[in-house]
Structure 1
Amino acid sequence: MNDSLSFAQLEFEAGRFRLAIQFAQYAVAQSPDDTDALTLLGMASLCACEVNEGIDALERAALLRPLPRAVQIELAIAYGSAGSRTLSKDLLMSIATSGKVSSSELLRIAAGLEAIDQPRLAMEACRQAGILNPERPEVHFQMGYYAEQCGHPAEICESLIRHAIGLDPRNVHFRIGLASLLIRLSRQDDAITVLASVIPDRLDDVHCQCCLKRIANLFFDADDVPRARLCASRLKKLSRRDSVPQQNHSV
């Protein structure tokens, strides 16, 4: 592995995707047929929301050597993001039915299918993940979400999400998901009960600004001013961070 590729890998693992792209581009310039460099360039580009650039790099890598299955899934999802929904669906379903996928990969496939408005296929992929790993809480949480998308009764969706929480009681994301469902059902008191055990303890794990607005309003309406203010403070911090212009790095 050349130095540029090593640096690209380190930056990618640290979540500094723009720097990872720059180093990977150097590596590709030095060795145009380096599939590792092309794959890393593609994945970093996708993580930086440069979808077309990511697709191009991964397609070039695929022409030289079969992509790892996890990378194939990300490429298939990227096609959907770029507007090629039929191609995305066909590739995701081909991988899902290959008989070689893990439960984690099936959950990722499910997310990709839901992103292209295929919630029933997403639910089936999730169900297959549950067959492989029935005690994995994410399976039941995602099943509950997709069940709602498919129009299944609210009590089924709620039961699935509550089962996920039973398997991972401290997961704030599961609890926010259930609270959001309960709010839509006009069950604000139940929603507050669901959140009370993790807010504010797990508030720093919440990065979704829409979620923070929703639960801040929920606590304000319930006259729980301390929790509401903590949610609003977290929201302000995230908004301020996202509004700071990204500096250009030279390497």
Structure 2
Amino acid sequence: MNDSLSFAHLEFEAGRFSHAIQFAQYVLAQEPEDVDALTLLGMASLCICEVNEGIDALERAALIRPLPRAVQIELAIAYGSAGRRLLSKDLLMTVATSGKVNSSELLRIAAGLEAIDYPRLAMEACRQAGILNPEQPEVHYQMGYYAEQCGHPAEICESLIRHAIGLDPRNIHFRIGLASLLIRLSRQTDAIEVLAAVIPERLDDVNCQCCLKRIANLFFDADDVQRARLCAARLKTLADQTSLPAENHFA
């Protein structure tokens, strides 16, 4: 592996995707058919929402050598983002039924299928992941989410998500998902109980501004001013970060 490609991989692993793209492009300027550079360029482009560029690079790589399963899944999801829903579904299902996919890959496939409005297929992929790894908390959480999308009774969705929380009690994302469901069911008191167990301790794990607004309003309405203010402070921190120049994001 040449130095530029090594640097590209390092930048990608560090989350500095624009820098990774630059190094990959430098490699490709010298070796246009370098599959590793094309794959890295494609994946890094997808990470910064340059979907068409990512698809182009990954398709070029696939013409030279078969893509790894995880990369095939990301390409399929990118097709969905680009509006090529049938192609996305076909590729996701091809990978899902290959007999070689692991539980984490099946969960990613499920997310891709749900994103293109195939929640029942997503739920089936999730169920298959559960067969492979029944103690994986994310399996039960996603099953609860897809069950709601498929119109299953709320108590089934709640039970599945609560099981995920039982397996991973400190996971604030699971708790936010359950709280959101409970709020939709007009069970604000139960939602507060679910969240109060991990807030403020796990608040820094929350990066979704919409979620923080929802939580802050929930605590304000319940007169829990301290927690509401902490949520508002975290929201302001994230808002300030997103307003910084792009280069500061990589500091």
Fold-level similarity (TM above 0.5): yes
- Normalised to the residue count of structure 2, the TM-score between the two structures is 0.98
Matched with 1:124 is 124
Deviation, structure 1 residue 145: 0.3
Measure how far apart 1:247 and its partner are. 3.4
Q: Could you tell me which amino acid in structure 1 is paired with residue 59 of structure 2? A: E
Deviation readout 1:212-247 (Å, 9 max, x if unpaired):
000000000000000000000000110111122313
- Is residue 218 of structure 1 aligned with residue 243 of structure 2? no
Say yes or no: does 1:14 pair with 2:14: yes
Equivalent in the alignment of 1:200: 200
Q: In structure 2, what is the Cα distance between the partners aligned to 1:214 and 1:149? A: 20
> Aligned residue for 2:42?
42
Partners of 1:246 and 1:175 in 2: how far apart?
A: 31
Counterparts of 2:58 and 2:169, CA distance in 1: 38
Q: Kindly, what percent of the aligned residue pairs are identical?
A: 86
RMSD: 1.1
Structure 2 spans left out of the alignment, 5+ residues: none
The normalised TM-score by structure 1 is: 0.98
Q: Which residue of 2 aligns with 1:142?
A: 142
Which residue identity does 1:92 align to in structure 2?
L
In 2, Cα distance between the equivalents of 1:176 and 1:212? 9
Deviation per CA, 1:117-143: give whole Å up to 9, x if none: 111100000000000000000000000
**Letter in structure 2 aligned against 1:145:** Y
Give the paired residue count.
Answer: 249
Name segments (4+ residues, structure 1) moved above 3 Å: none
Residue of structure 1 equivalent to 2:241: 241
Q: Which runs of 5+ in 1 are unaligned?
A: none
Tell me whether 1:94 sits opposite 2:94 in the alignment: yes
Report deviation, 1:33.
Answer: 1.1
Distance 2:173 2:34 in 1: 39
Question: What is the DSSP-based 3-state SS (H/G/I as helix, E as strand, rest coil) of the residue aligned with 2:33?
Answer: coil
Could you tell me how far apart the structure 2 residues matched to 1:187 and 1:247 are?
A: 43
Find out whether 1:184 has 2:184 as its counterpart: yes
Aligned mates of 1:29, 1:82 — CA distance in 2: 27
